Structure 1
């Protein structure tokens, strides 16, 4: 399962907006993709199911009950989940919200239970009937991206490389 097979828009359009089901899907994406270290989704107030007040101050929700679960690999074959914090100040949320387009973040170091990992975040806007409802995203170590690029073969002698505008 990939984030593409977890279409939040479809959940909203079909009326199947069960938070437990959405969490199970994100956990499955994380479990079935060893190259991903975290998955998350951040919804606008009442954007997922209109029931934020019922979830105020509960696990993986913020104080208002917004659906903001963050699934993280623990480095030991398991995972944990928490509410994302300070998302309203970060480009992984603000950029797709502002542009309505997929966003890939500048590489950054994140600490996963004592393991520092150089990674990037890829975030997809969730737009239903022209309205921005939130984002879904994954964090991918640059080492995983490099491996994917190394496995690309272009004709007989071509190759791909991973680069960055700033070197």
Structure 2
């Protein structure tokens, strides 16, 4: 194994006090960005980008290739989370030394991928609920308008049926 590939300790995010006003979603996004930036700092696997080989190694290992593929699949703009998840699970199942060296990174990225999948599902359900609520609100507004028109019509009928109030007779002056 190349000496430059030994995993360094993962930076730990310190959770702020709940009174800070930072939302859990913002903290999750910050943690994800930190994780992706630390994982993308791994050496590139392309020989053309690598230039000279390190310590006689001319090709990247399968574990490194799997990790890089998982990182590419988990990128926010080109997200293929199911593929990233299966790649990471396969890497975690591997017991060779190269794979074990990447297990901390793979576990952390897998947790993030799973959380992103969970949040995507929640987002979809909330979107559906929002659409249903908007439709229900529109129906309710239409019913309210119809009822208001009926009330106005009844008030007009009531005014037309009520005889005018006669003026009170004037008291006679003596």
Task: Classify the TM-score, shorter chain.
Answer: under 0.3
Larger radius of gyration between Structure 1 and Structure 2: 2
Larger % of helix: which? 2
More strand by share: 1
Tell which has more relative contact order, 1 or 2 (C-alpha 8 A, sep 6+). Answer: 1
